[in-house]
Structures are given as structure tokens and as C-alpha cells.
């Protein structure tokens, strides 16, 4: 069986089943995984992997699914991992997702039946132009769809099925990893890289068909703590130095025409105050600091500190403290040391019949941290669009292309060994 001759896919059937399981993660939870319900899907995945004959499939105590497809070749092939996340974004409801398949799409606006004000307009979604004749899956108007990243999960599951059923496709040992809590930045906190035992990996968590991403932001979290001077407001003249007002002055002192998410694009970085809390006595501003160039994080942080310093001179009795925490790093620093990972990813996309497009992400993936934990891991398209909202969509044909891409990746690693 040639990979491109495969016509019987189950990826869409799997996908529409998986999205009906609510797996929303919760950034305000301190447990791991952040929500127990993520395991509802993970348990299904384990059972389906076992049913395929993948004997070591299991759910660990942290909510990760691990599984191994044994090698079927004499050659010494690097162990390759495929990874997706089971959770969906906290930004939009994932409860009672009702997937709808719009067969043979003809360029119309898609009105979602449970809330007719939610319309996926052809004009607003340029990628719909590539979908004429395809079958498009959407939610029904009240929830997100969950293509991010259940498309990736379904693609890996269907590729696993095809590999188990078609032993003539030669491959080395393949590891499967499904993570919880990616959407809240904790997806790899408890991954056991040693146990996983893979040399290289691919996350299936990208967007448009044909894309592969080897660059992410580098990311720090920066917190400014302000201690003001609290006095009874009736007796405050000349004494009170309100931390609330200091905090808002600091926000106002930040650059307005640059260095923010709303004024930058492509590889430009930013400083972004995303939460503020406090009282007269003390206040806290949480920033995220982002840039593709890790070295520039330092100067961005310095700009924040300069703003704080210039404001605080107006409040001589107030004090401040800045804390910085590393979040993740641009995976390109690691991937450049192993060029064959991207070469094979790109060639696999080409063999599946697409024009490969190499991109960078204004964000992170599980792969950006996995790469620095010893598992270099670019991000391959899963086919979803308009992530994290009610307009999310994915097509059957693009998910099938992703399954083929996975198969070509494993075949290419074997071929080149």
C-alpha cells in the first residue's frame, strides 16, 4: 500500500467524537491536570489505542497518555514521537460541542444554527478559498469546536490505526504522547522525557494545511509589586501614596505605538500587562514579555523597569520589586542543531501533495518547551482555523492530509536510516 493511495480514513469520524468530550482547561486551578474532565477523553484514547493492538498504551497519574508503536524494520531508526494536547481553550465554552459537517463547501457564508449571529463569513476567512468542494466541520454557534487540538489528536490516532493495519509501511519505533493543559501553558510540566524515550518529535498543533513551524516566541513572565502608603482618606493630605494610582501611572508610561501586542506583528516582540490587582497599600501588575530573539527580552524588561522607575520618583515613600520568570524559549535554537527534523517534515508535506510553508509562531507550543527538555519538536499543521472561538473550523480533507503527512514522516525517517 502506497501512503498516497490510502482512501479510507477515520480521522473525521474520530474528530467529531472527540470534540463532544468537554476537556476545557482552567488557568485558575492549581491541580494537575487543571480539570479532571480532560481525563475523560484521555481514557477513551487509551482504550482505542489498546483496541488497535498498541499494548503499552496507558494514562499516567498526571493525565498524560503514552503509547508505543513498535518498529517493523531491521534498520536502526531514531525513535520519533507525535504529540497533541487534549485540552481546549478557557476562552470559549467547550461544553456540549455539537460538530456539524458542511458537505461539499461552495464558498458560502456558514451560519451556525444554535446562534445565527455566529457566521463564518467567506470574506473574513481567506483560507476558505482553498476549501471549495471540501467538507468543513464547525461547531453549532454556542461553543468552540476544539480543532485546537483535537484535530491533532484525531490525526495521530488515525495514523496509528493505519500503521497498525498496514505493516508494509516501514517505520522505526514511534511514540505517542497526548498532553493536558497546553492552553494554560502547563502542558509539559510533568512529561517524563526519560520514560517517553524518543529522540525527536513533532507536535500536530499547527494551522493551515502544508505549514510547519520551527520558531516560537521566547517568553518570560514579569511581575511588578508596588508597596504604597495607606492612610485614612480623611487624613491623607501629603501622606497617602496610592499603589493603585502608581500602577495605573506605570501602565500609562508604557510605549503606546510599539512594543505591544496590538502594534506589532511577525517577529516583533512586546511587553504586555495582562493583569492588574491591588489596593491603596499594595498593587501587582503581571506582564508577559515576548520576542523571537531571546536576547531582546532583556531590553524589553528594561523598558518596563524604566517606566516603573520614572513613575516611582513621583511617589518617594513607595517602593517596588520586579520578579522575572522564564516561561519558554524559541525552539529554533534547538532545532537548528538537528536540521534533519525539519527537512523530513518539509519533505513529508511535499510527498503528501502540498506546497510546504515554513512559518514562525507568535506564541509557544508544547514543542517549544519539549525542545529544551531534550525532545526537539517542530509544529506541524493540524488543519484548524480561527482557534479559541465559536468560528473555529477545520476540513475533512486537511485532516486527511495531516494523517498522510504523519505517515510520510515515519516512512522518511526509515528510508533515510
By CB under 5 A, name the binding residues for Zn ion: 148-149, 205
Report the residue number, 205 or 414, with the smaller CB distance to Zn ion: 205
Q: Which three cell numbers stand for residue 367?
A: 514543542
Which one, 68 or 211, has the nearer CB to Zn ion? 211
Closer residue to Zn ion in complex, CB, 139/411: 139
Q: Distance of CA 386 to CAs 118, 166, 207, 264, 354, Å?
A: 13, 34, 9, 19, 21
3 state SS of 309: helix
Closer residue to Zn ion, CB minimum distance, 148 or 214 = 148
Question: DSSP string of 217-272?
Answer: -EEEEEEEEEE-B---GGG-TTT-B-HHHHHHHHHHTS-SSSSSGGG--TT--EEE
CB of 281 to Zn ion, least distance (A): 40
User: Catalytic amino acids?
Assistant: 87, 182
Q: Peptide bond preceding 414: is omega within 30 degrees of 0, i.e. cis? A: no
Torsion of CA 200, 205, 210, 216, to 10 degrees: -70
Question: What are the E-state strand segments in 292-356?
Answer: 319-328
- Nearest distance, CB of residue 88 and Zn ion, angstroms: 9
Q: How near is the Cβ of 312 to Zn ion at its closest, in Å?
A: 39
Q: How many C-beta atoms surround the C-beta of residue 355 within 10 A?
A: 8
Return d(Cα 164, Cα 44) in angstroms, integer.
18
Nearer to Zn ion, 213 or 282 (CB): 213
Q: For residue 12, how far is the Cα from the chain centroid?
A: 20
Sequence-separated (6 or more) residues with CB below 8 Å from residue 165: none
Q: How buried is 317 (Cβ within 10 angstroms: 0-12 exposed, 13-18 middle, 19+ buried)?
A: exposed
414 touches 170 (CB < 8 A): yes
DSSP 356-410: -EEEE-SS--HHHHHHHTT----EEE---BSTTSTT-EEEHHHHHHHHHHHHHHH
Contacts (Cβ under 8 Å, ≥6 apart) of 314: 249
Q: Are 214 and 378 in contact (CB under 8 A)?
A: yes
Nearer to Zn ion, 307 or 399 (CB): 399
**Nearer Cβ to Zn ion, position 3 or 137?**
137
Considering beta carbons, is residue 149 or 282 the nearer one to Zn ion? Answer: 149
Question: What does the DSSP 8-state code read for residue 95?
Answer: T
In angstroms, give the least distance from the CB of 182 to Zn ion. Answer: 6
**Residue with C-alpha cell 485540552?**
87
Burial of 384 (0-12, 13-18, 19+ CB in 10 A): buried
Report whether 222 contacts 321 (CB < 8 A): no
Amino acid at each position: 500500500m502506497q501512503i498516497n493511495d490510502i482512501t479510507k480514513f477515520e480521522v473525521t469520524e474520530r474528530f467529531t467524537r472527540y470534540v463532544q468530550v468537554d476537556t476545557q482547561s482552567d488557568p485558575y486551578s492549581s491541580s494537575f491536570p487543571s480539570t479532571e474532565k480532560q481525563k475523560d477523553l484521555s481514557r477513551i484514547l487509551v482504550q482505542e489505542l489498546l483496541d488497535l493492538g498498541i499494548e503499552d498504551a496507558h494514562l499516567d497519574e498526571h493525565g498524560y497518555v503514552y503509547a508505543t508503536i513498535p518498529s517493523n524494520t531491521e534498520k536502526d531508526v531514531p525513535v520519533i514521537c507525535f504529540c497533541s494536547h487534549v485540552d481546549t481553550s478557557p476562552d470559549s465554552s467547550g461544553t456540549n460541542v455539537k460538530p456539524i459537517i458542511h458537505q461539499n463547501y461552495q464558498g458560502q457564508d456558514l451560519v451556525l444554527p444554535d446562534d445565527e449571529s455566529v457566521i463564518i463569513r467567506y470574506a473574513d476567512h481567506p483560507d476558505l478559498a482553498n476549501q471549495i468542494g471540501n467538507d468543513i466541520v464547525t461547531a453549532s454557534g454556542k461553543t468552540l469546536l476544539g480543532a485546537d487540538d483535537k484535530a491533532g489528536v484525531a490525526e495521530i490516532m488515525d495514523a496509528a490505526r493505519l500503521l497498525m493495519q498496514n505493516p508494509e509501511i516501514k517505520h522505526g519505533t514511534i511514540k505517542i504522547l497526548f498532553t493536558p493543559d497546553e492552553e494554560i501553558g502547563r502542558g509539559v510540566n510533568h512529561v517524563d522525557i526519560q520514560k517517553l524515550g524518543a529522540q525527536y518529535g513533532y507536535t500536530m498543533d499547527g494551522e493551515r494545511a502544508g505549514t510547519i513551524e520551527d520558531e516560537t516566541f521566547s517568553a518570560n513572565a514579569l511581575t511588578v509589586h508596588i508597596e504604597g502608603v495607606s492612610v485614612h482618606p480623611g487624613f491623607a493630605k501629603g501622606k497617602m501614596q496610592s499603589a493603585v494610582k502608581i500602577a495605573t501611572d506605570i501602565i500609562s508610561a508604557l510605549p503606546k505605538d510599539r512594543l505591544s501586542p496590538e502594534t506589532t506583528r511577525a517577529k516583533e516582540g512586546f511587553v504586555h500587562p495582562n493583569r492588574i490587582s491591588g489596593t491603596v497599600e499594595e498593587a501587582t501588575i503581571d506582564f508577559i514579555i515576548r520576542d523571537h530573539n531571546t536576547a531582546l527580552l532583556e531590553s524589553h524588561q528594561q523598558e518596563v523597569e524604566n517606566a516603573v522607575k520614572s513613575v516611582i520618583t513621583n511617589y518617594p515613600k513607595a517602593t517596588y520589586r520586579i520578579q522575572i520568570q522564564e516561561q519558554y524559549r524559541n525552539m529554533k535554537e534547538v532545532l537548528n542543531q538537528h536540521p534533519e527534523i525539519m527537512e523530513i517534515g518539509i519533505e513529508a508535506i511535499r510527498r503528501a501533495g502540498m506546497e510546504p510553508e515554513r512559518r514562525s509562531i507568535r506564541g509557544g507550543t508544547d514543542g517549544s518547551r519539549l525542545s529544551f527538555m531534550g525532545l526537539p519538536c517542530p509544529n506541524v499543521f493540524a488543519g484548524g482555523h480561527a482557534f479559541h472561538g465559536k468560528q473555529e473550523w477545520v476540513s475533512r480533507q486537511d485532516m486527511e492530509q495531516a494523517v498522510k503527512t504523519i505517515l510520510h514522516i515515519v516512512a522518511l525517517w526509515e528510508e533515510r536510516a
